[in-house]
Amino acid sequence: MKLENKVAVITGAGSGMGRAIAVLFAKEGAKVIAADLNEESVQSVVKEITETGGEATAVVTNVAKEEDINVMIDTAVEKYGTLDILVNNAGIMDNFVPAKDLSNELWERVLAVNTTGPMFAIRKVLPLFLEKKSGVIINNASIGGLFGSRAGAAYTASKHAVIGLTKNVGFQYANEGIRCNAIAPGGVNTNIGTTMSEPNPFGMERAMSGAVNNPRSGESEEIATVALFLASEDSSFVNGQVITADGGWTAY
């Protein structure tokens, strides 16, 4: 098992990619703190893990709230004595809203969840990782963080910021035994669409104009295997990088 006796915190673990990562990490021997805003869904994934012999604890977490992030990390240490892996997976979409129509409220909400939340979590875990001279951080960035129009203005900006944060943390703490990498998934079959209500017609048309070139949609389990690689010693020489997992879409 590649993560035996490791302790991992995973945000957005109640569904989609976060759930698949939590299940796979537990299967590979990790003790999992499954964090999600939806209590029912996060309890469900913990039940799935424990019923198959794994170890997991649910924590209801709004990643936009620093106090919730602090409780999430503190729970890992209190429950399992340490923390080895942080996966910042939780995220929301932005209804494809272009810059002209972007409200302050939408901008602030998307940045709070997609960018500020990961920053809160990274800032909280760094003292733990520095003390033990080891630790792995994985950020879910999306191809929206690599290209200009895979979503609206707020989502695109938020994911570009996550990639910048990933590279900064990865390099600055490289000599301290800490690695920080990101995954940039393409189209993946998840329920993130439920975070959208009324897509902006203009923004959606522009963002989806390249969708015809997408060879296929991925599954959450395919992203989870990339996260496992980044969390394990298999990627010991990979740091400050973004791994694109999109079936070849952005190779066009």
Q: What is the mean pLDDT of the chain?
A: 96
User: What pLDDT does 70 receive?
Assistant: 98
The two three-digit tokens of residue 99, written as one number: 């810059």
Q: Which CATH class is domain 7-245?
A: alpha beta
Instruction: Say what the pLDDT of residue 194 is.
Output: 67
SS3 188: strand
Q: Which pLDDT belongs to residue 195?
A: 67
* pTM of the predicted model as reported, rounded to 2 decimal places: 0.95
> Active-site residues: which are they?
155
Strands 55-60 and 85-88, by their bridges, are unpaired
Q: What is the pLDDT of residues 12-41, one digit of tens each?
A: 999 999 999 999 999 999 999 999 999 999
Give me the mean pLDDT over the 83-108 stretch: 97
Reduced to 3 states, what is the DSSP secondary structure of residue 242?
A: strand
Average pLDDT over residues 184-190: 92
Under 8 Å CB-to-CB from 6, ≥6 apart: which residues? 25, 29, 30, 31, 84, 85, 231
- What are phi and psi for residue 243, nearest 5 degrees? -100, 115
Q: Is the pLDDT reported for residue 192 higher than 70? A: no
